Amino acid sequence: MNISGVRSILAGINDIKVIGRSAVLDGVVSNVMGLAHHGGEIRLLILQYDECFHEKAIEAEWQELNASSGKPENNRALLRNDRFLDARDPFPSVLKVFIGENEFVVYRTERRRLDAKDPESILTIAKFLDNGWQPSGIEDFSIDMLFLTTLKVSGDFDSISACSRDQELRFILGPHSEVHQVEKPITLIVGDNYKDKIVFHDKDTGEEHWVRINRVYLSDIWEEMNKIFTHPKLKEQLTAEEIARVRSDFENKFREVCPRGMYYPVIEYECEEDISLQFYSRAFLDAQPLNKGSSMGFLIRPDQPTGILGLKLKAIAIQEPVPANTGVIEAELFQYTRIISGGDIIL
């Protein structure tokens, strides 16, 4: 970066409206700095500090320095939701922001950890400080322990004057998902001989949940895909040559992950409305990762809309090939994903 680069960044920040609200949300110190008219875009900037992330970052650095070389990492470690170090985000899926009566629609969200070598972010923060912004609860922490959330919004920038304390600042959140660890061993038996609910717990919080397995069966994905490629409706959308090309490409890739004659176990189950489950075999989780060139995902739909308990029937495949005579799978209920409904944050 040279002086010309600094001048270019500063010239791109056309105007600033300081908001200066702060709050601790889900344990994260959040400073809403304000609006910046930046290169033709309107950006709402939020600077954050997460103490838990700070502690984990120090611990991860220590572990990296003291890690024994050559220790193999297994699939379990690769798939855990805490594998990638990240701070909590109190502003997920923001749809709209209201500053008083003025509405701003969010069309893009960016979030990144600050770096002292990132001149654009540092100079933008400096501009806010120069315009009177007063940070709260974050001023003594290292730059690389702070996160900057940028909401790119559409609205009337000029309608905002200095944001007074009696002016409500409201964030409208949309639904978002959260992944939670379980890692509960379960012996799956092919068939429908499942009579009771299975109770499981969030590995981190201990929160109790349940699942009622309706049946486990083996699915011939090759046969299912053949039905798709030979369906009359597909011929209305693609030419015979296009279908042949797509089918050949699929078969070449899928052959690497599931050879012909092998099957995927499928679990049909009922559980709480806002969660879905992920299963793996214990052998796969404890195995060393393979450097496969192909990876494919499949959306499995249950045969019936509702299950034994009258709730929505859900289905998930264990995407590991097994022979046709498989009767028992030693598995784990590894994770559950919860859909969090939207809400409001008012500052």
3-state secondary structure 24-63: EECCEEEEEEEEEEECCEEEEEEEEEEHHHHHHHHHHHHH
Residues 272 and 166 reside in one and the same domain: no
Query: What range defines the domain where residue 255 resides?
Result: 222-259
SS3 content of the chain, % helix, strand, coil (to 5): 25, 40, 35
Looking at residue 162, its pLDDT comes to: 59
pLDDT band at residue 295, thresholds of 50, 70 and 90?
A: low
- Per-residue pLDDT tens digits for 38-87: 878 899 999 999 988 888 877 777 666 665 544 558 889 888 876 666 77
Asked if 69 and 96 sit in the same domain, the reply is yes
- With H, G, I as helix, E, B as strand and everything else as coil, classify residue 328: strand
The answer to whether position 347 is within a domain reads no
Residue 42 inside a domain? The answer is: yes
Q: Are residues 116 and 151 in the same domain?
A: yes
The one-letter amino acid at 271 = C
- The total of structural domains in the chain comes to 3
Q: Tell me, yes or no, whether 158 and 9 share the same domain.
A: yes
Surface-to-core class of residue 12, CB atoms within 10 Å of its CB (0-12 exposed, 13-18 middle, 19+ buried): middle
Indicate if 195 and 248 belong to the same structural domain.
no
Asked if residue 28 and residue 15 are part of one domain, the reply reads: yes
How confident is the model at residue 69, as a pLDDT? 46
- 3-class state of residue 235 by DSSP: helix
- Looking at the structure, do residues 327 and 298 belong to the same domain, yes or no? yes
Helix (H) or strand (E) segment spanning residue 263: strand 262-271
Looking at the whole model, is its pTM more than 0.85? no
Same-domain check for residues 74 and 86: yes
Q: In this structure, are 131 and 229 located in the same domain?
A: no
Percent of the chain at pLDDT > 70 equals 89
197 shares its domain with 255? no
